[in-house]
Amino acid sequence: MKANEAPEKIWVHELSAKELDVPLKEYHIEYARTDAFIEKAATWIANRYQANGSYLCADDIEDFEKYMKGE
């Protein structure tokens, strides 16, 4: 699988938990791709502002994404 085709989320399930020696009650672990997380957060923020009658310009969203990436 190529990097840009990686799943958005990866879950550790019961069988993996046993192999990783993780207690069963803690196997509900979700790992998210950083770029997917940042994109969803930016979309949520833009929608939230719009729902409140405000708007963010594209530069604000781009600045947020750069900040989250550590740029």
Q: For 18-33, write each residue's pLDDT tens digit.
A: 666 666 565 566 677 8
Q: Mean pLDDT for the chain?
A: 77
For 2, the 3-state DSSP assignment is coil
Q: Which helix (H) or strand (E) holds 5?
A: none
Q: For 33-69, write each residue's pLDDT tens digit.
A: 888 889 999 999 999 988 888 888 889 999 999 999 8
Confidence (pLDDT) at 33: 81
Q: Which pTM value belongs to this model?
A: 0.58
Under 8 Å between Cβ of 25 and 44: no
Confidence (pLDDT) at 44: 92
Cα distances (Å, whole numbers) of residue 18 to 26, 39, 40, 49: 11, 33, 31, 44
For 12, the 3-state DSSP assignment is strand
